[in-house]
Structures are given as structure tokens and as C-alpha cells.
Amino acid sequence: MLLSVLLVLGVCLVPAHSKPAAEYLGSPLLQSCFQEAKKIVDDAYKYSREESLKRVRKEVVSPHDALRLLKQPRGDTRSAVRSADYMAQTLRLLQERVHRVHKRSLNATDLLSDVDLQTLVAITGCAARLRPPQCSTTPNLNKYRTITSVCNNLNNPRLGASNTPFTRWLPAEYDDGISEPKGFRNQKINNFLLPLVRQVSNNILNTTDRGVINDTEYSLMLTFFGQFNDHDFTLTPSSPSIRSFSNGLNCGESCENSDPCIPIPIPPGDPFLKSNPKGCIPASRSAPACGTGYSAYNFGGKPNVRENINSLTAFLDLSQVYGSEDKLAQFLRDLNTDSGLLRVNTEFTDNGRELLPFNPLNVNSCANRGKITNDSNAKEVPCFIAGDSRADENIALTSIHTLFLREHNRLARQLKKLNPQWDGETLYQEARKIMGAYTQVFMFRDYLPHILGADVVHTQLGPYPGYDPNVDPSIANVFATAAFRFAHLTIQPFIPRLDADYKEHSQFPSVPLFTAFLTPWRVVFEGGIDPLIRGVINRPAKLNVQNPVMVDALRERLFQFVRKLALDLGSLNMQRGRDHGLPGYNAWRGFCGLSQPKNQEELAQVLNNNDLAHRLLQLYGTPDNIDIWLGGVAEPLVPGSRVGPLFACLIAKQFQRLRQGDRLWYEKPGVFTLRQRAALSTATLTRIICDNTDITSVPRDPFNIVSKRNPLILCNTIRSLNLAAWQE
């Protein structure tokens, strides 16, 4: 009778009498717990969305809101995250009730029957995440990539696909061994407490913009092209909820650790306390993948470690242009014509050239033009939309997105002239296929040698070895969360804008970096992308040296334009590593076959810097505990590179795997014809710039600063891609 009443009321409780708990964990009770969990999750999502809308309307968006909106899961990613939250909260409720009644440690999943476990996976929606897709019905499977990259590996169709977990190269290290972030319980690790990440940032990363040292070899294009391509294969969505599922705390208003809230404490005496009087910088956990952590359904209900979702495909396929989900990819296409074009802005052009379309969503997280320019009559514009949600993050990145949008449409129009019989679908797919090959050529031939150095490229990457279906191309958690974030230390405190003579633009001068975040109106109303492209190919990157480290715009003023509050990118990087359970510095040194320093003397030898080693050990106590991102960026650079030995190893290993595990890599026989591959080998980023802007002269190598060895050359002297090989 009691159970019937509870089910009618929708309350998930285990009756308190002598019968075994397993008798009461049948499907009806499981359904009841699921319904309660579903309401908790749905209400939290709804509350979070309504709060976001309120803040946008009142123009009180916080930096935390801005960052969260950039990484907000959408479309199928949101469905995947919601399913994981449904499962986690259903099991949490079951677990709480079992413990409350039986006063002993029992795992709810151990008490569920196989039928109940299967029911749980089905009703939460996680079954769809575990079920292998059918590849036999996918059209042109061997000719074109699917948007989601399912069926790239025919033996394991989800390998490298969007909305699958990051892979791990070393076992995760969580406080509870399963899910809680490192340092969550404030317990000792290797006999030492982990330091506050903001304290580490203050003591190690602190610098002033006046102390920036310019790179003597490489331009800012190296920085922003790296960011553009990082957004091709890594995006870790944040939880859609801004309040705790268990107690309703608002992550933006509380300093309590309560999933998904993982606030960053501010140490005493920190200037951040003036703008964050409650004593913490708001932060939220990355969303978990279905069936991992305490919500694991591992064909027996045993919990395994929490994994994080990569909402993008693992391949170099320009998904930041085309999208990693079918619905978004369809929206980004111009389906009003049969020409295979991408959708463009219908309200504005850039001196007659195309701009990205505006985002149709009501929530506009981009900066208010009127407030920044002190012009109450200034026309506001929405955020742009592209294949990746971060296209508006800064205007240099937006300009590169715009460049590649235009190049797709240029290719589609040229292919239409060559093959007037082709329909819009063929034109779109062929142009997209060429564009995907572009990024593979540019990254391996032009970008990685600058980052890794010629020796590492030769020894760890080498020539294309052919496709191996047994190689897992999935992006590693350590790569996405630490190693490929090295370029945060190559960003200048400003974004340059130059005129046709490569001098400071008189009408639209360079802008401080912190005023260039989420400002698409600067592209629309302030000279378009040409001044920005000239700026990034003609001005040096910041040199990644041990001191100074991170510019003020990132460490003290990240997203400050939206309010007096700000975020600290260095602290966020380290907090994210702990959230993801990444092992410490020495574990990764060992993984790469490098020495593992045990004391200050040995660490000083590795870092070639006794003072830095001393300051690190004052904070961490042992090299074992140094956060992997910080340890990686602290190392002296490999000769001819822009990373240290540890990150050179991890980055090379990732690119080696995503190339060898890609069934549709451009060099694989049969993907392109021999003539097409020969033509693609001549493609250059400089030619793309020349074809899609009004710029008339460019450096021979846009990643190097202009010099006698790398002079400006006229666009009409640069070889164009010969599309004759694509003519039927």
C-alpha cells in the first residue's frame, strides 16, 4: 500500500522495514525515481535558461555567463548531456534512499536487476549513446565524411565521432576514484595539499602587459590559426545547469562545491576580492558522458571514472566551419539555391564581400556596442553563427572563420563553372572535401613544424604511414584540457588592425584584447576582416617564455567588458584539469619517456630555472602534484619549436593518431585522385587570403613575421589551386 501511494505521488523512497532493498527496486520504483530526477534536471535547465535570458535583457551578463554560453551544449550535444544528467540523478536518488533506509554502504546499481539496468539506460536516453549506428545505409560512405564522423571507422562506427567521450592515455585521478575533482575534498595528494589555482596563477603566471616579449620568428597568425583549428576537434561542453542538482545552489552566487558548481576560491589579499567579495570566481564542471562516473552502466552497473564529452569530431575536417551535427550543418547551408553554398549574412557585407550569418537564437551573449563605445544610438547586432559556437570569441578568430566561409563559396562557384551538371549537394560535398584537405595540408606542412620543431615532426610524425583501423583517433582528455592550450601564452594584449600599407589603421586602430571578446559588431562596423587579417600576418605573437607568462587581458580581465567582474584563464585551465581528473606533471613526463624530477634540484634542471622550480615547490610540495597545464607551459622550449618537451610529445602523439586513424585522410589512396592530391599539395593559406579579401600583398609564409627571408609578395604572383583535376 505504501509503495502504491509513493508511486502515485511520484516520490522515490525505499520503504523502511525488514525486507531486502532489492525487492523494492523493481521497474515501478525505478520509473518513479526517474520521474523525480527528470523533474530536477528539467527544472534546473529551465531555470538556467530563464536566468540567462533575464541577464541578457537587463544587460548584466557576467563573465561566467559569457564563458558558459560559449560552451553551452546545443542540439544533439544537449540531448547527450541531458541523458547523462537524467541517469546520474536517478541513481543519486536511489542511492540516497537505499543509504537512508539501510544505514550501510550499498551501490544502488548493485541492487538493480539486468532488466532494471536496461530500463534505466532506455528511459534516460543513454541507450541511443551506446547503440552502434548503422553504416550500411549511409550514402557515399567512402566518398564524403558524415557531418558527425560516425562510420569513419567501419569496425567501430562511433570512434572519433562527435558527442563521444574524450579518450584517456593515463588513468584518471579523482578524489573519490570515480568522479570528484582533484582537491575537492581538500585531502592530501602525495603527502601535500593541492594549492589554490588562483594562488598558483598569482605566484607563477602574474605579469604585466608592458613586460611582453615579442616572438622574433612567428606572427599572430600562428596563435589564432591554432585556436581556429583547436575549435575543429575539441569542445568540452559545460553543464547546462547553473544550479546544483542536489541542493539548488546557484553556481554564480555560491562558493560551495556542489556539482556542477566548482567555484575557484580567491586567496586573501587578492585584488579579485574587490570585484568578487563573496570570495570565489564562479566555475562549472564539464558535462559528463552517459554511463560514466556514478552513472556508469558498464554491463553490470559498476561505477567507472567520469568521462567528459567532446561535442566535436576528432578529425581535421573543418567542422568549425560546417558543424559537427546534422541539424546545424543543414542550417549553415544556403538551400535557397542549388549551388552548394554556405549561408551568408543577408543584412551586411564587408565592402561587398560575404560575412558570417547572424545567430537566430534569442540569447545574445555578445557585447553591447553602445556601452563599449558610449554611444546610446549605436546599432546593435547579434552574434555570428558558424560550425563552432566560439566563432565570436575574439575578432581575430571571427576573421579567420569568415575567410574560410568565403573560400567554400568561392570553390563551390568555381566547381559549378567546371561542372554545370553537378547538383547543389555534390557541389557542397566536393567543396567541403577540398576544404577538409586544406586544413590537413596546412596543419601538417605549415603549422606543426613551427610548433613542434623540425626534429619532433621528423621523429614522431614523419610521412603519412597509411590508414590503420586499429588506431583510435579520438581526442585525448590531456590534449584538449592541457597540451593544446599552450597557445594561451602566445596571445598579445591587443589585436592589431593594419591598413593597406601594413601600418596602424588610422580609422580603426588596434584594440585591447579584453575589448575584442564577443564583439562581432567590430567586424560589421569597423572595417571588416581585412585590417584584422593584415594584423595577424604582420605582427608578432607573444613569445612563450617562463617570465613574463600570461598577459593581463587573459589573467585579470577575461570577459571583463560585460561587467566589472572578470575571469582568470590560467586558473580556469588548472581548475578544468582537476575537474577532468588529469594526473599530475610527473605522471605525464613518465608517459612520454621523460625524466621525472623528484626534488628542487632535479626540477630546476628540467626547467633550466632554479627560481621557478623553487616557487613551484613552495606551492605544490612535490613535482608530482604540479598541474599538467602549468608544468607543460613552464618547460623551456624545444629548439625550433614553441612548446617544451612534454607538450611536444603529447601534441605530436595526438596528431599522429588523428591522422592514422582517419579513413578519409586526404593522402589515403582512393580519397582523392593522384592529380587532385598533386593540386592540393600546392594550396596555401596566402592564396586563400588573396582570393577572399582585398589584400594585395602578403608574407610568403603567413606564420612567420615579415623579414628579408620572408618578404611581402604580391598576390598575383602566388599560384592558385588548379581545379582542373575536379572536372568531369
Neighbouring CB atoms inside 10 A of 638's CB total: 19
Torsion angle in degrees (nearest 10) through CA of 523, 403, 162, 589: -90
Cβ 516 vs Cβ 394: under 8 Å: yes
The secondary structure of residue 541, as a DSSP letter, is E
Cβ atoms of 271 and 565 closer than 8 Å: no
Cell matching residue 99: 543509504
Which residue, among 91, 82, 85, has the nearest Cα to 29 in the 3D structure?
Answer: 91
Give CA–CA dist 193/386, Å, rounded: 43
Q: If 0-12 CB within 10 Å is exposed, 13-18 middle and 19+ buried, where does residue 370 land?
A: middle
Which H helix or E strand runs over 329? helix 326-331
State how far the Cα of 117 lies from the Cα of 110, in Å rounded to an integer.
Answer: 10
- What is the distance between the alpha carbons of residues 201 and 208, in angstroms, rounded to a whole number? 13
Give whole-number Cα distances, 188 to 160, 194, 572, 578, in Å: 36, 7, 21, 14
- For residue 418, the Cα-to-chain-centroid distance in whole angstroms is 38
Q: How many helices (H) and strands (E) does the chain have?
A: 28, 10
Quick one: which of 536, 429, 443 has its CA closest to 231?
443
Whether residue 469 has a cis bond before it, omega within 30° of 0? no
What's the CA gap between 345 and 391, in Å, rounded? 14
Pairwise CA distance, residues 323 & 83, whole Å: 22
- In 3D space, the residue among 436, 443, 400, 258 whose CA is nearest the CA of residue 693 turns out to be 400
Q: Would you call 5 exposed, middle or buried from its count of C-beta atoms within 10 A (0-12, 13-18, 19+)?
A: exposed
Q: Are 417 and 372 in contact (CB under 8 A)?
A: no
CA separation for the pair 626, 11 (Å, rounded): 45
**Alpha carbon distance 625, 617 (integer Å):** 9
How many angstroms separate the Cα of 412 from the Cα of each of 97, 234, 406, 721?
60, 27, 10, 13
Angle at 7 between CA 3 and CA 10, to 5 degrees: 135
Per the CB < 8 A criterion, the answer to whether 390 and 232 are in contact is no
In this structure, the chain runs to a length of 728
Of the candidates 361, 358, 381, 391, which has an alpha carbon nearest to the alpha carbon of residue 53? 361
Non-local CB neighbours of 489 within 8 Å, separated by 6+ positions: 542, 544, 549, 550, 633
Q: Hey, what's the torsion of the CAs at 389, 394, 400, 406, to 10 degrees?
A: 60
Residue in 64, 99, 231, 614 annotated catalytic: 231
Q: Check if the beta carbon of residue 483 is closer than 8 Å to that of residue 651.
A: yes
Grid coordinates representing 436? 577538409
Give the number of C-alpha atoms closer than 13 A to the C-alpha of residue 612, restricted to the C-beta side. 23
The residues near 96 (Cβ < 8 Å, ≥ 6 apart) are none
Q: Which alpha helices (DSSP H) does 258-368 contain, by range?
A: 272-275, 319-322, 326-331
Q: Can you tell me which residue has the cell 587581458?
A: 553
Nearest 5°: the CA angle 588, 593, 596 is: 60
Q: Would you state the cell numbers that stand for residue 437, as one nine-digit string? A: 584537405
CB-CB neighbours of 656 under 10 Å: 16
Is 17 annotated in the active site? no
Bridge partners (DSSP) of residue 265 are 280
Which positions are annotated as active-site residues?
231
